[in-house]
Amino acid sequence: MSLQGAYEADNIFARIIRGEIPSAKIYEDDDVLCFMDAFPQSKGHCLVISKTSQARNLLDVEAGVLAKLAATTQRLARAVVAALNPDGVVITQFNGAPAGQSVFHLHFHVIPRFDGAPLARHGGGMADAGELKALAAKIAAKL
């Protein structure tokens, strides 16, 4: 069952944390990493992950880690709003494959919404790396 199971140390987010896969980083400290989603649903779609926890989802995470993730998610959402001026912001977090989770490393999505702009499919097309880096810098400047 995808809702439960052993943490897989070679998941894509663990590999990003270890520097094995590049990402457009927005913010990083000892505990948390924020970066642009390579398969964005909207311009400015970014992710927040723990660098220390091996929680697969919200049901597994340690309370202290969750508190840091939640605070950073709020801080990132505020920076996204300041940088991109969206009409709304969706904060999502999936638990288990039937719920939409595709990477089994706890993560939060911050997805800006713009009136009249459709939301792309979750895990759809890959974005241009240069555009992601430019957006990351714009958002990081507002943190």
Give the C-alpha separation, 9 to 117, whole Å.
Answer: 36
45 part of the active site? no
Looking at the DSSP bridge assignments, the partners of residue 113 are 88
First-residue to last-residue Cα distance in the chain: 38
Among 45, 107, 109, 122, which one carries the catalytic annotation?
107
Q: Contact, 57 vs 103, CB < 8 A?
A: no
> What's at 82, amino acid-wise?
A
Q: What are phi and psi of 41, to 5 degrees?
A: -90, -20
Residue with tokens 């969206």: 86
Q: What residues are annotated to the active site? A: 107
